[in-house]
């Protein structure tokens, strides 16, 4: 069974990197926008009987990219794909994993159900909440970019560095970085006021005179990160601040928020495509090679 790579418009640069690492060309397809907002997807190459991997993070605009992914799946199936895998490096709706007020839709579960109706397998990276794995009826492969990011950090951290989780939800993630880099951990206690604003209650851990490395799985508007960094500075940390995160959405005024801080480095991956932010010291670690290696192993195992 031949391996084929199909990409939507969410992150074609990453798809090219994956195809290049596998030494194959991307399957030809087109996605068109009609004036009324409808999408039309067409797969031009024959994928009959092939092991097809559709590369499409559900990054902003999330709903558009999700629908595009589902239409790509339908087009591939109608072209006779033998096995279909969704490669969703960033899984949108992951923060909607539970009901808080009792009346909300559980978006993560709904999206998981939609993907499982069209794909044999789903591959993703650093889910916001690993418990979401239980939402998938199809086989889910959950990869992590933590080791890649830790390797990128290794040359710049010192004995004075400390790993910081910007909220309680990131403490386990922070410990993984700390174990890889042999550093202590601190964390921030916060209260979320809205989708953009948080209030800091306290800093737990000795950060005075240390260089913080603030980590999280994703950066959206930057509200959590910026509030955490401001609290660290108030508690006497050194101004050499580093951020590491798998998914750099940087939506709304996130770039402006970070530009007002004295960031030394912001290390992220390319799970989400973004244009260069000249005002930020961004360094990008590619997950293309990691994904390509995993796809090759899956394909060879299933052949």
Residues 111 and 157 in one domain: no
Q: Is residue 286 scored above 60 in pLDDT?
A: yes
Residues 14 and 139 in one domain: yes
| CA distance to 121, 150, 175, 221, per residue, from 118 (Å) | 9, 35, 36, 31
Range of the domain at 215: 146-285
For residue 16, the domain's CATH number is: 3.40.50.2020
- 213-217, 277-281, 285-289: range with lowest mean pLDDT: 277-281
What confidence score (pLDDT) does residue 73 get?
98
Residues 94 and 39 in one domain: yes
The answer to whether the peptide bond before residue 61 is cis (omega within 30 degrees of 0) is yes
What confidence score (pLDDT) does residue 165 get?
97
What confidence score (pLDDT) does residue 202 get?
86
| CA distance to 74, 192, 202, 226, 271, per residue, from 197 (Å) | 39, 6, 16, 10, 25
Per the prediction, the chain carries an average pLDDT of 93
Residues 171 and 104 in one domain: no
Residues 276 and 182 in one domain: yes
Residues 173 and 209 in one domain: yes
Residues 245 and 170 in one domain: yes
The string of pLDDT tens digits covering residues 225-259 is 999 999 999 999 999 899 999 999 999 889 889 98
Residues 150 and 266 in one domain: yes
CA 95 distance to own-chain centroid:
12
Q: Is residue 191 scored above 80 in pLDDT?
A: no
Number of domains making up the chain = 2
Q: Residues 69-75: what's their mean pLDDT? A: 98
Residues 294 and 273 in one domain: no
Active site amino acids: 190
Residues 99 and 138 in one domain: yes
Residues 220 and 246 in one domain: yes
Residues 262 and 157 in one domain: yes
- As a dihedral over the C-alpha atoms of residue 191, residue 197, residue 203, residue 204, rounded to 10 degrees, the angle is 50
Residue 166 CA to residue 227 CA, distance in Å, equals 8
Give the predicted TM-score (pTM) of the model. Answer: 0.94
Per-residue pLDDT band for 39 (boundaries 50, 70, 90) equals very high
């Amino acid at each position: 069974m031949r391996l084929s790579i199909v990409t939507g418009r969410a992150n074609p640069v990453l798809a090219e990197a994956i195809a290049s690492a596998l030494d194959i060309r991307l399957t030809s397809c087109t996605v068109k926008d009609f004036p009324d907002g409808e999408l039309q997807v067409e797969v031009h190459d024959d994928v009959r009987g092939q092991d097809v991997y559709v590369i499409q993070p559900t990054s902003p605009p999330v709903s558009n990219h999700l629908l595009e992914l589902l239409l790509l799946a339908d087009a591939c199936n109608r072209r006779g794909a033998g096995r279909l895998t969704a490669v969703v490096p960033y899984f949108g709706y992951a923060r909607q994993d539970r009901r808080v007020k009792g009346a909300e839709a559980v978006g993560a579960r709904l999206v998981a159900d939609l993907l499982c109706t069209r794909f044999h397998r789903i591959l993703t990276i650093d889910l916001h909440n690993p418990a979401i794995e239980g939402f998938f009826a199809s086989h889910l492969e959950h990869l992590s970019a933590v080791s890649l990011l830790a390797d990128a950090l290794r040359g710049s951290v010192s004995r004075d560095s400390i790993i910081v989780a910007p909220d309680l939800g990131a403490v386990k993630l922070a410990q993984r970085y700390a174990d890889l880099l042999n550093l202590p951990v601190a964390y921030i206690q916060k209260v979320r006021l809205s989708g953009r604003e948080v209030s800091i209650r306290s800093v737990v851990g000795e950060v005075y005179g240390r260089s913080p490395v603030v980590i999280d799985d994703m950066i959206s508007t930057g509200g959590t990160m910026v509030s955490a960094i401001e609290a660290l500075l108030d508690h006497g940390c050194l101004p050499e601040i580093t951020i590491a995160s798998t998914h750099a959405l940087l939506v709304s005024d996130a770039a402006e928020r970070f530009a007002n801080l004295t960031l030394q480095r912001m290390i992220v991956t390319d799970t989400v495509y973004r244009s260069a932010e000249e005002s930020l010291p961004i360094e990008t670690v590619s997950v293309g090679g990691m994904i390509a290696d995993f796809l090759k192993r899956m394909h060879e195992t299933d052949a």
